[in-house]
Amino acid sequence: MKDSDIHIIQRILNGETALYENFLNAYGQQVFTLIVRIVANQEDAEELTQDTFLKAFQHLSSFKGNSSFSTWIYSIAYNTAISHARKKKYDTFNMDDALLANISDQQVDQALNEEGEERILELNRAIEQLNSDERALITLFYHEEKPLNEVALILGLTESNAKVKLHRIRKKIYVLMKQEEV
């Protein structure tokens, strides 16, 4: 946790509410990116980003500093977006566990490490078919480059559970990309 964040939070809580803009500027784009990847709708994501920062402001006094401010705001964003996505019941692709078990890690690594514009498009189309929880995990770990322990904290998982889910999601993406090739 940055000392400057704690100092700014203290000042905001003491009445200097205009300082909250520092957090909007520092974390606004990352929060929006996470939310839009979960809900897959820009207008909803803009509204949910505003809701996230409003909730964080309203509950700023409950921030204890046990994690970084960014982890705390990401948790609020994640919960806000997931709650919205569950209400909307976005269509996602479900996959049989037995199918995933028969795919080797080497196959997945080779397919996902291939470069090229077409491969990136296939990858993005596959990610769009994941459920909102899976898109959040992928976004935080790969796009935002958060360490696994922080991703787990944001998503409310144990680190080992986050690792297992990430492993399964990679296989699921592989299957989705292979299905598109057919």
> What's the CATH number where 110 sits?
1.10.10.10
- Whether 83 and 7 map to the same domain: the answer is yes
- pLDDT tens digits, residue range 111-166? 777 777 877 888 888 888 888 889 999 989 988 899 999 999 999 999 999 999 99
Residue of 55 and 85 predicted with greater confidence: 55
In which domain, by residue range, is 44 found? Answer: 3-88
- Whether 53 and 106 map to the same domain: the answer is no
Assign residue 147 a region (left: φ > 0; alpha: ψ between -120 and 50; beta: otherwise): beta
How many structural domains compose the chain?
2
Boundary residue ending a domain (64, 88, 112)? 88
- Whether 41 and 102 map to the same domain: the answer is no
Q: Which helix (H) or strand (E) holds 69?
A: helix 69-88
Residue 96, burial from CB neighbour count under 10 angstroms (0-12, 13-18, 19+): exposed
Residue of 112 and 80 predicted with greater confidence: 80
Task: Look up the pTM and report it.
Answer: 0.73
Query: 21 pLDDT exceeds 90?
Result: yes
SS3 content of the chain, % helix, strand, coil (to 5): 80, 0, 20
Boundary residue ending a domain (31, 56, 88)? 88
Query: What CATH number is attached to the domain comprising 61?
Result: 1.10.1740.10
- Whether 111 and 71 map to the same domain: the answer is no
